[in-house]
Structure 1
Amino acid sequence: MARDNRPTLQPRPAPLRVPAAYWTLVAGFTICRSGCVVVPFLSLYLVRQQHFSAADAAQVSAAFGAGWAIGPGIAGWLADRIGRRPTLLVTLSAVTTAYLLFPALHTLPALTAAAFAVGLLFDAPRPAVLALVADLVPEEARGRAYARLYWASNIGAGVAGAVGTAISDRHMTALFYVAAASNLAFAVTVLIRRIGTAPRPATPRKRPDSPATGYQALLRDGRFLALTGLTLLYLCSYQQVLFGLPVAMDQAGLKPSAYGIISLINAIGVVAFQPLLQPWIDRRAPLVVCATGAITLGLGMGANLGARQSLIGYGLAAAVWTLGEVLFFSSVMTVVERLAPADARGRYTGIWASTMGISALIAPLISSAALDSGGPELMWTTSLALGALAAGGLLALKRRIDTTPTVPEVVDLELAPSRT
């Protein structure tokens, strides 16, 4: 396995040159992300449109979160087992169907089951997409390729926020049709442009001097498990943007529209910061960048302590934690890809991506417990501590990887992915 043993400073990289299929993949994934309009409004849809209680809405949302926690792991296994392209087509078609069926359901058990299915599927394309980037892009350009994908997907997320806000007041059911259309558009792109790699052979030849790839080997990979755990710590702090910040701003007497302004600052910040920071990111080891992002996120969360009742204060804090978001997510996939064997990239990215769903289950528990026990002050202090712990752990992981002997990677030509 490759290791993150680059010096802190490196020469300026050459311009990004990647296959055309990579740009098609980025465009398709951005379209898919631009339709992620259901999740932010799911609870509101259940309460306003379906007339369920807040407790019932929480039950349905919890089912969604449970599906999200396990979906990427299953999808990652599929990406390695049947191939990237079939996995994308299956998951995108399935989630399109789930979105179309959701508005026709009206009982709590049916909606709970449907929410679990949507959670299972809505982020399932991600492992195949991330694995495909490594398949398509030369190693020296992968870091920038992942960063560009992250940047483009955030443009899609910004579009999703604008679309969702525009249509949610009058046509909330239409949110599901927008989500279905965006996933269908990505599926058609994959189908027509033949994006993807060939399936793995049923009995692949193992690399010399390396363990058998798969979940058993993955679960023995201490470095990858450490990275996954540290990512979860980071995300438990980061997810307070979704779960803790709206409550804290409401308790401070700010209007709901104020949170929309913070979300807009975040979206603009990601789009603006990422290209500006990329030259700095390119010249530093990925885990150093991730650690910098984690502590910056923590400091941004801690800065909310000084915001009190000021929208300007929350906006300045948002600029700081957005910077931490950009640094972390622009680099972390480079580390995952370097730790993953070529024929297990789907599983590695799937397990890593599952931390997003798991953190969405844990973060609300942290924020509610902190708010009940010590108010916003305890919640933001806890978020700062989580960011600091993640940063320290990431730097320790870098030292561990730097001192671990590297096993030369021997590529079996029968396993090498096609460059379609």
Structure 2
Amino acid sequence: MTSTDESTGIWETIRDAPVPVKALLVGVFVNKLGWFLQVFLVLFLTTSKGFTPVQAGTALGVYGGGSVIGLIIGGSLSDRVGPRAAVMISMFGMAGFVLAIAYVPSYTAVVVVVALAGAVGQFYRPASAALLTELTPKNRQVMIFAVYRLAMNLGTTAAPLIGAALVAVSWNLLFIGEAVAALAYAAVAIVALPKRSATAVEQTPDDQPSAGGYVAVLRDYKYVLFLLCMFINAAIYMQYLAVLPLHMKADGLSTWWYSAIVALNGFVVITCELLVTKVVQNRPARVVAMTGFVLLGGGLAFYALPGGLAIFVIGTLLWTLAEIIGGPTMFAYPGMAAPKPLLGRYVGSAHAMFGLGSALGPFLGVWVWNTSGSQVWVWCGLAGAIGVVLAYFGMTPTTAEDTSIDATPAAEPELVGGQDE
């Protein structure tokens, strides 16, 4: 096609995507439909197992810590054995550990199994993102990541409702349901994802940065600045779950209004992200990310203004706009910046930093709220400004941004009949 707009349209991107990419989108959606553990873990441990709220909260924190470690391991695993094998290991392992949680006898055993479930269950994420990058033409990568995010968001939105229905029957059924969802994704990987020969994951003469694994990633100082962007993005983004409900309650607004604000964000993201991505995907990644940080920091800082409910609505719309403008580009960028032998590690490190920010952000935000009240939103605005600077210096323009002339897949893995090595 001669027109960039036509070649990177929503339906054109989905229609022309190779079978493995479509399979990944379906597999991730089905897997997220069974995303029950993190949502219901505290309730399960307190009501069914009889543990204290502190013990349950600790277990949830351990799950989050395991998830961050799993993302790092998953990136390395993807580079070493290939995305297909990494997805299979992740999903088979997750199914086993999730089922074990319902039956282990002691709190210590629960914590260990929860940590393993958090870690192994995240191996698939760098692998899936790496494979999307490898099999998608460069000029369509931002759009395909927007579709990928949509599949995850739809599944994640439906999962709590499905989980509540399963819990009404039996707690065991909840864990069986998540295991089945994981096995369904594993089946998709077995049937539809490409097997890769050793040459597809080994270093080539032109890809010297592969030496040293994650050490080589850290030597890319510009990419390290991008990793800090991911951390800041997640840390301040999570304040809508940590500090926003406290602020709205302090202002005398009911839980219903907070729920409506969160629902507004979800509705806009699900209905508008693909349309917005169609407009911004051909802009330089650095410019898109900087715009996202301006809107994210500005939207959160807007909460510091007086004005009641209207302030919360406007601020939420601003940072939601940041999410749908910057989100797909931020998660597609690691594939644009990575040398091929380190693709999984580049992707894994980005996901891990986002996960770390998601884990630490709520603690930091609530601490600042307890110390200085609504000034926490001013600090979020300042953090967003730092993100703008880091994105400017860290996100080097890549050849992937020249979409008018480069519409070939980023890397086409060799398909072989044997096992992944």
Aligned length: 395
Question: Per the alignment, do residues 200 and 217 of structure 1 end up closer, same or farther by CA in structure 2, a change over 3 Å counting?
Answer: farther
Question: Could you tell me how far apart the structure 2 residues matched to 1:364 and 1:250 are?
Answer: 17
Matches within 5 A, 1:194-273: 195-201=193-199, 204-208=202-206, 210-213=208-211, 214-273=213-272
Q: What's the CA shift for 1:79?
A: 0.9
Give the alignment partner of residue 417 of structure 1, picking from 406, 413, 419: 413
Which has the larger displacement, 165-174 or 288-297?
165-174
**CA pair 24-202 structure 1, distance change in 2 beyond 3 A:** closer
Is the contact between residue 63 and residue 117 of structure 2 (CA under 8 Å) also seen in structure 1?
Answer: yes
User: Residue deviations 1:373-404, cap 9 Å, x none?
Assistant: 012x0222222222221122212334x558xx
Q: In structure 1, what is the Cα distance between the partners aligned to 2:19 and 2:240?
A: 35
AA partner of residue 389 (structure 1): I
Displacement of 1:255 in angstroms is 4.1
Give 1:190 deviation, angstroms. 1.3
Q: Which residue of 1 aligns with 2:139?
A: 140
Which structure 2 residues correspond to residues 173-184 of structure 1 after superposition, within 5 A?
Answer: 174-184=173-183
Q: Which residue number corresponds to residue 102 of structure 2? A: 103
User: Does the 8 Å contact 2:296/2:318 carry over to 1?
Assistant: yes
Give matches, 1:69-80, under 5 Å: 69-80=68-79
> What is the CA-CA distance between 1:324 and the residue it aligns to?
1.1
Question: Does residue 277 of structure 2 align to residue 278 of structure 1?
Answer: yes
CA contact (8 A) 1:75 1:127 kept: yes
Q: Report the more deviating stretch, 202-211 or 30-39.
A: 202-211
Q: Residue 23 in 1 paired to residue 56 in 2?
A: no
CA offsets, 1:170-192, max 9 Å, x none?
75554333322221111111112
Is 1:364 the counterpart of 2:362? The answer is: yes
Structure 1 SS opposite 2:206? coil
Q: Are 2:277 and 2:324, in contact at CA under 8 Å, matched by a contact in 1?
A: no
- Aligned residue among 364, 385, 388 for 1:391: 388
1:12 alignment partner, SS class: helix
Which whole-Å deviations, capped at 9, do the CAs of 1:356-375 have from their partners, x for residues lacking one?
A: 32113311221221122012
Task: For 2:147, give the aligned amino acid.
Answer: R
Q: 1:95 to 1:264 in 2, by over 3 A?
A: same
Amino acid at match of 2:380: S
Alpha-carbon offset, residue 27 of structure 1: 1.0
Summarize the alignment of residues 282-293 of structure 1 with structure 2, pairs less than 5 Å apart. 282-293=281-292
In structure 2, stretches of 5+ residues that fail to align are: 399-410, 417-421
Q: Gapped runs of 5+ residues in structure 1?
A: 1-9, 403-414
Q: Which amino acid aligns with 1:299?
A: G
Contact 1:135–1:419 (CA under 8 A) maintained in structure 2: no
Q: Work out the CA distance in 1 between the residues paired with 2:182 and 2:59.
A: 22
Residues 313 and 178 (structure 1 numbering): CA distance in 2 closer, same or farther, change over 3 Å?
Answer: farther
In the other structure, the counterpart of 1:411 is: none
Deviation at 1:244, TM superposition (A): 2.4
1:382 aligned partner? 379
Distance 1:318 1:168 in 2: 32
1:109-188 mapped onto 2 (5 Å cutoff): 109-164=108-163, 166=165, 171=170, 174-188=173-187
Q: Which residue matches 2:419?
A: none
Cα distance in 2 between the residues matched to 1:160 and 1:203: 35
Between the aligned partners of 1:249 and 1:51, the Cα distance in structure 2 is 32
Q: Aligned-pair distance for 1:279?
A: 2.6
TM-score by length of 2: 0.85
- The one-letter code matched in structure 2 to 1:211 is P
Residues in 2 aligned to 1:49 and 1:309: alpha-carbon distance in whole angstroms: 40
Q: Secondary structure at the match of 2:234?
A: helix
The residue identity in structure 1 corresponding to 2:245 is: P
Which residue matches 2:407?
none
Question: Does the Cα contact within 8 Å between 1:85 and 1:190 map onto a contact in 2?
Answer: yes
| Secondary structure in 2 matching 1:305 | coil
CA distance change for structure 1 residues 309 and 102 in 2, over 3 Å: closer, same or farther? farther
Question: Partner residue of 1:406?
Answer: none
Contact 1:273/1:323 (CA < 8 Å) preserved in 2? no
* Cα deviation, residue 164, structure 1: 3.9
Asked if structure 1 preserves the Cα contact closer than 8 Å seen for 2:293 and 2:387, the reply is yes
Show CA shifts across 1:251-304 (max 9, x none).
Answer: 444444444333322221111121221232123111211121122112222233
- With the length of structure 1 as denominator, give the TM-score of the two structures: 0.85
Asked if the contact 2:33–2:181 (Cα under 8 Å) also holds between the matched residues in 1, the reply is yes
Give the Cα separation in 2 of the matches to 1:301 and 1:328.
15
User: 1: CA distance between counterparts of 2:95 and 2:201?
Assistant: 33
Asked if structure 1 preserves the Cα contact closer than 8 Å seen for 2:293 and 2:388, the reply is yes
CA-to-aligned-CA distance 1:84-107 (integer Å, 9 cap, x gap): 111111110101111111122353
CA drift of 1:37 comes to: 2.5
RMSD of the TM alignment (CA)?
A: 2.6
Q: CA deviation at 1:143?
A: 2.0
Q: 1:12 aligns with which of 5, 13, 18?
A: 5
